[in-house]
Amino acid sequence: MPALTWRRTLPLVVVTIVVTAMLLSPGGTAPEGPPHTDKVTHALFFAALAYCSRYARIPAAWTIVWLAAYGAVTEILQATVAVRRSGSVWDWCADLVGV
């Protein structure tokens, strides 16, 4: 990949890794906040992912599609694999709001 492409893609790769680690880390490690703070966090995570995706010059329609699928997959993994986590349709909706 040319240097310019890597410069545009690297933030997306880094943010995706960080968000995935945060979403799938064991639950109960973050301090509790006001009600629905987790929804705001989901929206902010996915806003950052959407920004980085667009910065990497991924078209808007593809950004929406891949982030909707990514959000659904992470919620399924939270419900089935992650320790002390639960998947939530409302969290996925908050993901979509961020996008």
Q: Give the closest residue to 91 by CA, choosing from 32, 52, 27, 46.
A: 46
Arithmetic mean of pLDDT over the chain: 88
* CB neighbour list of residue 91: distance below 8 Å, 6 or more residues apart: 38, 39, 42, 71, 75, 78
Q: Which long-range contacts (CB under 8 A, 24 or more apart) does 72-79 make?
A: 74/20, 74/23, 74/24, 77/23, 77/24, 78/23, 78/24
pLDDT at 10: 96
pTM of the predicted structure, to 2 decimals: 0.88
pLDDT at 38: 86
pLDDT at 34: 80
Mean pLDDT of 1-17: 85
**Quick check: 32 pLDDT over 90?**
no
pLDDT at 20: 94
